[in-house]
A and B are shown apart, each in its own frame.
Chain A
Amino acid sequence: AQSVSQHNHHVILSEAASLELGCNYSYGGTVNLFWYVQYPGQHLQLLLKYFSGDPLVKGIKGFEAEFIKSKFSFNLRKPSVQWSDTAEYFCAVNAVGYQKVTFGTGTKLQVIP
Protein backbone atom coordinates (compact mmCIF):
# COMPACT_ATOMS: atom_id res chain seq x y z
CA ALA A 1 0.00 0.00 0.00
CA GLN A 2 1.14 3.49 -0.75
CA SER A 3 1.90 5.96 2.03
CA VAL A 4 3.12 9.54 2.30
CA SER A 5 5.23 11.20 4.97
CA GLN A 6 5.50 14.90 5.59
CA HIS A 7 8.05 15.42 8.28
CA ASN A 8 7.47 19.11 8.91
CA HIS A 9 4.20 19.60 10.74
CA HIS A 10 4.50 23.30 11.40
CA VAL A 11 6.89 25.72 9.77
CA ILE A 12 7.29 29.39 10.62
CA LEU A 13 9.18 31.66 8.25
CA SER A 14 9.72 35.35 7.78
CA GLU A 15 8.73 36.95 4.53
CA ALA A 16 11.36 36.57 1.78
CA ALA A 17 12.80 33.44 3.38
CA SER A 18 13.20 30.36 1.25
CA LEU A 19 10.90 27.40 1.73
CA GLU A 20 11.39 23.69 1.37
CA LEU A 21 8.78 21.23 2.59
CA GLY A 22 9.69 17.59 2.64
CA CYS A 23 7.57 14.80 1.20
CA ASN A 24 8.50 11.14 0.97
CA TYR A 25 6.34 8.35 -0.30
CA SER A 26 6.52 4.60 -0.18
CA TYR A 27 5.43 2.63 -3.21
CA GLY A 28 7.50 0.44 -5.46
CA GLY A 29 5.79 1.22 -8.75
CA THR A 30 5.10 4.25 -10.89
CA VAL A 31 3.37 7.12 -9.19
CA ASN A 32 1.71 10.43 -9.81
CA LEU A 33 2.57 13.07 -7.23
CA PHE A 34 0.72 16.18 -6.12
CA TRP A 35 0.99 19.12 -3.82
CA TYR A 36 -2.22 20.73 -2.65
CA VAL A 37 -2.65 23.93 -0.67
CA GLN A 38 -5.46 24.86 1.68
CA TYR A 39 -5.64 28.55 2.57
CA PRO A 40 -7.45 29.43 5.80
CA GLY A 41 -11.17 28.93 5.36
CA GLN A 42 -10.84 27.75 1.78
CA HIS A 43 -10.94 24.42 0.00
CA LEU A 44 -8.06 22.38 -1.30
CA GLN A 45 -6.41 23.65 -4.46
CA LEU A 46 -3.91 21.92 -6.68
CA LEU A 47 -0.52 23.61 -6.46
CA LEU A 48 1.38 21.38 -8.86
CA LYS A 49 1.57 17.83 -10.09
CA TYR A 50 4.03 15.35 -11.52
CA PHE A 51 2.88 12.63 -13.91
CA SER A 52 5.99 12.00 -16.02
CA GLY A 53 8.82 13.79 -17.85
CA ASP A 54 10.90 16.57 -16.35
CA PRO A 55 11.24 15.79 -12.64
CA LEU A 56 11.32 19.49 -11.82
CA VAL A 57 7.77 20.77 -12.01
CA LYS A 58 6.61 24.31 -11.66
CA GLY A 59 3.28 25.21 -10.21
CA ILE A 60 1.27 28.27 -9.45
CA LYS A 61 2.41 31.21 -7.33
CA GLY A 62 6.12 30.53 -7.82
CA PHE A 63 6.14 27.07 -6.26
CA GLU A 64 8.13 24.19 -7.68
CA ALA A 65 8.80 20.61 -6.69
CA GLU A 66 11.44 18.10 -7.65
CA PHE A 67 10.75 14.40 -8.00
CA ILE A 68 13.79 12.36 -7.00
CA LYS A 69 12.89 8.78 -7.74
CA SER A 70 15.91 7.27 -5.99
CA LYS A 71 14.91 9.01 -2.79
CA PHE A 72 11.14 8.54 -3.17
CA SER A 73 10.85 12.26 -2.54
CA PHE A 74 8.85 15.13 -3.93
CA ASN A 75 9.88 18.20 -1.97
CA LEU A 76 8.12 21.52 -2.43
CA ARG A 77 10.17 24.71 -2.76
CA LYS A 78 9.73 28.41 -3.12
CA PRO A 79 12.68 30.81 -3.17
CA SER A 80 10.95 33.67 -1.39
CA VAL A 81 7.74 33.26 0.59
CA GLN A 82 5.08 35.87 1.12
CA TRP A 83 2.64 36.42 3.94
CA SER A 84 -0.11 35.25 1.57
CA ASP A 85 1.53 31.81 1.42
CA THR A 86 0.33 31.12 4.95
CA ALA A 87 -1.65 27.92 4.50
CA GLU A 88 -1.57 24.20 5.00
CA TYR A 89 0.24 22.16 2.36
CA PHE A 90 -0.53 18.53 1.57
CA CYS A 91 1.58 16.14 -0.44
CA ALA A 92 -0.31 13.31 -2.14
CA VAL A 93 0.53 10.23 -4.15
CA ASN A 94 -1.44 8.10 -6.54
CA ALA A 95 -0.16 4.80 -7.86
CA VAL A 96 -0.49 4.72 -11.64
CA GLY A 97 -3.34 2.44 -12.61
CA TYR A 98 -5.12 2.89 -9.31
CA GLN A 99 -7.58 5.60 -8.43
CA LYS A 100 -6.82 5.99 -4.76
CA VAL A 101 -4.96 9.11 -3.74
CA THR A 102 -3.15 9.02 -0.41
CA PHE A 103 -2.46 12.26 1.40
CA GLY A 104 0.25 13.18 3.83
CA THR A 105 -0.60 14.64 7.21
CA GLY A 106 -0.01 18.17 6.00
CA THR A 107 2.39 20.99 6.89
CA LYS A 108 1.11 24.22 8.31
CA LEU A 109 3.13 27.13 7.02
CA GLN A 110 3.01 30.42 8.84
CA VAL A 111 4.73 33.38 7.20
CA ILE A 112 5.46 36.31 9.45
CA PRO A 113 5.43 39.75 7.82
Chain B
Amino acid sequence: SAVISQKPSRDICQRGTSLTIQCQVDSQVTMMFWYRQQPGQSLTLIATANQGSEATYESGFVIDKFPISRPNLTFSTLTVSNMSPEDSSIYLCSAEYRANGYTFGSGTRLTVV
Protein backbone atom coordinates (compact mmCIF):
# COMPACT_ATOMS: atom_id res chain seq x y z
CA SER B 1 0.00 0.00 0.00
CA ALA B 2 1.01 3.62 -0.38
CA VAL B 3 3.36 5.25 2.08
CA ILE B 4 3.26 8.88 3.12
CA SER B 5 6.11 10.39 5.08
CA GLN B 6 5.41 13.53 7.02
CA LYS B 7 7.79 15.70 8.98
CA PRO B 8 8.34 17.01 11.50
CA SER B 9 6.40 14.57 13.63
CA ARG B 10 6.02 17.14 16.36
CA ASP B 11 7.16 20.63 17.21
CA ILE B 12 6.75 23.26 19.88
CA CYS B 13 6.72 26.76 18.45
CA GLN B 14 6.56 30.29 19.74
CA ARG B 15 3.50 32.34 18.91
CA GLY B 16 3.98 34.64 15.95
CA THR B 17 6.35 32.28 14.16
CA SER B 18 5.66 29.96 11.22
CA LEU B 19 6.15 26.24 10.71
CA THR B 20 6.38 24.38 7.43
CA ILE B 21 5.26 20.76 7.35
CA GLN B 22 6.50 18.49 4.61
CA CYS B 23 4.68 15.56 3.05
CA GLN B 24 6.35 13.04 0.74
CA VAL B 25 4.42 10.34 -1.09
CA ASP B 26 6.09 7.21 -2.42
CA SER B 27 4.30 7.34 -5.78
CA GLN B 28 2.81 10.00 -8.00
CA VAL B 29 -0.64 11.21 -7.02
CA THR B 30 -2.88 13.84 -8.51
CA MET B 31 -4.49 15.12 -5.35
CA MET B 32 -3.00 15.71 -1.95
CA PHE B 33 -4.95 16.93 1.04
CA TRP B 34 -4.17 18.70 4.27
CA TYR B 35 -6.29 18.13 7.37
CA ARG B 36 -6.33 19.48 10.88
CA GLN B 37 -7.35 17.39 13.90
CA GLN B 38 -7.85 19.56 16.92
CA PRO B 39 -7.76 17.97 20.37
CA GLY B 40 -10.75 15.74 20.90
CA GLN B 41 -12.22 16.51 17.52
CA SER B 42 -12.47 14.92 14.12
CA LEU B 43 -10.53 15.72 11.00
CA THR B 44 -11.26 18.94 9.18
CA LEU B 45 -10.09 19.44 5.63
CA ILE B 46 -7.96 22.55 5.26
CA ALA B 47 -7.25 22.45 1.54
CA THR B 48 -6.74 20.30 -1.52
CA ALA B 49 -3.43 20.62 -3.35
CA ASN B 50 -3.10 19.90 -7.06
CA GLN B 51 0.22 19.91 -8.80
CA GLY B 52 0.60 22.94 -11.05
CA SER B 53 -2.27 24.96 -9.66
CA GLU B 54 -3.18 26.87 -6.55
CA ALA B 55 -4.58 24.96 -3.64
CA THR B 56 -8.32 24.96 -3.03
CA TYR B 57 -9.18 26.04 0.51
CA GLU B 58 -12.19 25.03 2.56
CA SER B 59 -14.41 27.53 4.27
CA GLY B 60 -12.67 29.05 7.24
CA PHE B 61 -9.15 28.52 5.93
CA VAL B 62 -7.20 31.09 3.92
CA ILE B 63 -4.02 31.03 1.91
CA ASP B 64 -2.33 33.75 3.94
CA LYS B 65 -2.62 31.65 7.08
CA PHE B 66 -2.00 28.24 5.51
CA PRO B 67 0.06 28.64 2.34
CA ILE B 68 0.53 25.36 0.48
CA SER B 69 3.06 24.34 -2.12
CA ARG B 70 2.79 21.41 -4.54
CA PRO B 71 5.92 21.48 -6.69
CA ASN B 72 5.52 17.96 -8.08
CA LEU B 73 3.35 14.86 -7.96
CA THR B 74 4.98 13.36 -4.87
CA PHE B 75 5.52 16.29 -2.54
CA SER B 76 3.63 19.05 -0.77
CA THR B 77 4.18 21.47 2.08
CA LEU B 78 1.79 23.23 4.41
CA THR B 79 2.90 26.30 6.32
CA VAL B 80 1.12 27.43 9.46
CA SER B 81 1.81 31.16 9.58
CA ASN B 82 1.85 33.66 12.40
CA MET B 83 0.92 30.96 14.85
CA SER B 84 -1.21 31.37 17.95
CA PRO B 85 -2.08 28.82 20.65
CA GLU B 86 -5.35 28.15 18.80
CA ASP B 87 -3.29 26.59 16.01
CA SER B 88 -2.14 23.83 18.35
CA SER B 89 -3.35 20.71 16.63
CA ILE B 90 -2.35 17.67 14.66
CA TYR B 91 -1.88 18.39 10.98
CA LEU B 92 -2.23 15.48 8.57
CA CYS B 93 -1.34 15.02 4.96
CA SER B 94 -3.35 12.64 2.81
CA ALA B 95 -3.38 11.35 -0.74
CA GLU B 96 -5.91 9.43 -2.75
CA TYR B 97 -4.98 5.97 -3.94
CA ARG B 98 -7.91 4.68 -5.89
CA ALA B 99 -7.48 1.07 -4.92
CA ASN B 100 -6.93 1.85 -1.29
CA GLY B 101 -9.02 4.87 -0.53
CA TYR B 102 -7.22 7.73 1.12
CA THR B 103 -3.91 7.17 2.86
CA PHE B 104 -2.69 9.40 5.64
CA GLY B 105 0.68 10.47 6.92
CA SER B 106 1.58 9.99 10.55
CA GLY B 107 0.73 13.58 11.36
CA THR B 108 2.53 16.57 12.84
CA ARG B 109 1.65 17.41 16.41
CA LEU B 110 2.04 21.16 16.76
CA THR B 111 2.04 22.97 20.09
CA VAL B 112 2.13 26.75 20.09
CA VAL B 113 3.25 28.44 23.28
Interface residues of A (CB under 8 A from B): 32, 34, 36, 42-46, 49, 90, 92, 94, 99-106
Interface residues of B (CB under 8 A from A): 31, 33, 41-45, 48, 58, 92, 94, 96, 100-107
Residues of chain A within 8 A of B92, CB atoms compared: 43-44
Report Cα–Cα, A101/B46, bound state, in Å. 11
Other-chain contact of B42, A45, A46, A90 (Cβ < 8 Å): A90
Number of A-B residue pairs having CB atoms within 8 Å of each other in the complex: 43
Report whether over half of chain A's contact residues are helix, strand or loop; otherwise say mixed: strand
With known contacts A43-B92, A44-B92, A90–B43 Cβ distance under 8 A: yes
Interchain CB contact under 8 A, A49 and B106 = no
Interchain CB contact under 8 A, A100 and B42 = no
Report Cα–Cα, A45/B58, bound state, in Å. 23
Interchain CB contact under 8 A, A105 and B42 = yes
